[in-house]
Amino acid sequence: MKPALKRIAWGYVFMLLDFRINSFDLLPDWLGLLFIAYGCAKAAEVSGVKEFWTAQKAAALYFLYTIIAFFIQMNYSASPIIQAGERPEYNVTMLLVLIGQLIHLLLVYGLCSSIHAYAIKQEQPGLQNSASARWKVYLAFTTLYLVYLAFLPNIEANYTMAIVLIALAGFILEFFILLLIVTAVKLPYHKIPPYTDEPSS
């Protein structure tokens, strides 16, 4: 189980961090998403926690999105990132950002619910509560952020500082999700047989 969870953690690190040399991304998101998808599939097989399959599908969908967004970026002057200081508009960039954020939210839900179910199975109430609490905070923050982003093109204000602060807060929250996965990696794994209705003899 540990190798599968480690892959998920490494995948999340790839997705979270952005090291570039001459615009070449040393830790590409698509590679991180492949790690997560593969790790989730293995974790689902080994642990029998079906929520890992949800996370695996979300990672696969996110992978597909990064590829499509890359091609859109190459062929149009659109980008899946809103630059600080640039006035947001309702255009392809905004649509890409929205779709990307919704899929990302789905992925975080998949990972948190997987770790939550895994913690129940492993009888780890601390991890279970932590997964539940971090998901709630993450969901509330992302919802507020995306609603704020929806209003941005229609309000005339200096929002550069707000965008920078939101990006910083978002990064800290992502880091806490990563810590949750790392905590799950560190737990001693106890193989629990699948539950059946047949009476034991």
Query: Which residues of the chain form contacts with another protein (CB under 8 A)?
Result: 76-78, 86-87, 89-93, 98, 102, 105-106, 109, 112-113, 116-117, 131-132, 135-136, 139, 142-143, 146-147, 150-151, 153-154, 156
In whole angstroms, the minimum distance from the beta carbon of 134 to another protein comes to 11
Residue 156: CB minimum distance to another protein, A: 7
CA–CA separation, 159 and 88 (whole Å): 10
Q: Which is nearer to another protein, 35 or 118 (CB)?
A: 118
Which DSSP symbol is given to 25?
Answer: E
Q: Which of 33, 31, 40 is nearest to 6 (CA)?
A: 40
Tell me the C-alpha distance between 111 and 174, whole Å. Answer: 12
| Residues recorded for the chain | 201
Closer CB to another protein, 10 or 65, in the complex: 65
Burial class (CB in 10 A: 0-12, 13-18, 19+), 189: middle
Closest distance to another protein from the beta carbon of 66 (Å): 20
Of 35 and 40, the one with the shorter C-beta distance to another protein is 40
Contact call for residues 122 and 189 (beta carbons, < 8 A)? yes
- Which residue's CB is nearer to another protein, number 34 or number 72? 72
Closest to another protein by CB, 19 vs 123, is 123
Are 33 and 15 contacting, i.e. CB atoms less than 8 angstroms apart? yes
CB of 158 to another protein, least distance (A): 12
Residue closer to another protein (CB basis): 31 or 105:
105
Rounded distance between C-alpha atoms, residue 91 and residue 60, angstroms: 25
Residue 25 Cβ vs another protein, minimum distance, rounded to whole Å: 23
How far apart (Å, rounded) are the C-alpha atoms in residues 184 and 171? 20
Instruction: Tell the smallest beta-carbon distance from residue 147 to another protein (Å).
Output: 5
Which residues partner with 24 through β-bridges? Answer: 21
Distance of alpha carbon 63 from alpha carbon 79, whole angstroms: 16
